[in-house]
Structure 1
Amino acid sequence: MNFPSKLIEDAVNEISKLPGIGKKTALRLSLHLLKQDQSFATSLAQAIIDLRTRTTYCTVCHNLSDTPVCSICSSPKRDHSVICVVEDIPDVLAIENTAQYTGLYHVLGGVISPMQGIGPDNLHLDSLLRRTEVDSNKEPVREIILALPATMEGDTTAFYLSRKLKPTGVKITTIARGVPVGGELEFTDEITLGRSILTRTNYSTE
């Protein structure tokens, strides 16, 4: 690809390093930026710098945060007795977008996967166990929700966690797995369909 300017070429090369963006898309974005006011490019550049230099991780749940303790963990409106354990940060965003959950989170930072060399020591497991310890200065945790991937690695992690959490006496639950709305049974995998039958619920017309 030939460029009329070395500056444009440099911009295209950097933008195309982003996932899902090829050289042509990067060129369109670069040309779009050139048509905008300089203040737009300055604001965009500053937002990216702030994202990289000022974003941190919550010291409690390991979610992304602007402060040492994230807005979810510090909110008095959340149910601090319930913790939803997820694999990574996008899972927190997905659950939050449902507006159906009001408890806290704990981001493991991955799942146990011997094939990829990821063991329990590579995850935020110890901090989860510490959160279940009885402390007179905070509300006790009464339930841990395991919202992990429906994969062999996710199931292995859930099993490991349940064994580690059992001595705490905290109630351990897992999210329901079933046929999605609009899904056809013939295209549903056997494991999901089997679990849907085993975890069936009472039918109600109310």
Structure 2
Amino acid sequence: MISVRGEATLLVDPEVADLTVVIIAQARDRREAFERLVKRNDEVLSLVRSYGDSIDRVESTGVSVAPELRKGKDEKIRSYSGAVRVRITVADLAILGELLARIAEFEAATIDGPHWRLRTASPVYREARGRAVAEAVTRARDYAEAIGSRITGLIELADTGLTTTSVVPRMARAAGGVVFGARAVPAPAPAEPPALDLEPQQQTVYATVEARFQAAQPDFPTT
């Protein structure tokens, strides 16, 4: 029996990018704060949906409206603040820079992202597994040949791991004074906002398998 491990590492471009947009509103009256929040949320969603099939998914992941108290013992309510969290999955990465720049024009919006990734059902994972199996077979044959034997059958094949990590990101270049990162600050408004020039963060897919093969007895020379 010959036991080996097969490994494969692929460096590929991401397939989608996730953004989280936090929309905020504030007013002295709770209802007014909520109405402002609804209006701003609708504006952001309308913009995102205008990109059609370029957007894979839009999800509202949280809503909050809370009072803010004045300092002191009386605990009087000073105002109300609200927030909506929206998660956006962009399928067409070519429009990502433009979308970010247009969202950044909303003064009451914060952007977190992009977070690059592969799709859950990406064919890259299958390719990585296949390469890992091929590597295991090659290693087993190499060991068998080294002792004058040959592989005659498979005893066991086990999947020991399939992971995805991101390569250290390259810096995204911001145009027109837009700061890209945890906080998006709007630039002076031109007729059309300048698009961010982004370089997608490459993904590393790593797969390993363990295999045991049956091998023929080697013909060792007799002395």
Q: TM-score, normalised by structure 1?
A: 0.23
Give the structure with the larger strand fraction: 2
Structure with higher Rg: it is 2
Give the structure with the larger helix fraction: 1
Q: Bigger relative contact order, structure 1 or 2, given CA contacts below 8 A and separation 6+?
A: 2
Q: TM-score, normalised by structure 2?
A: 0.22
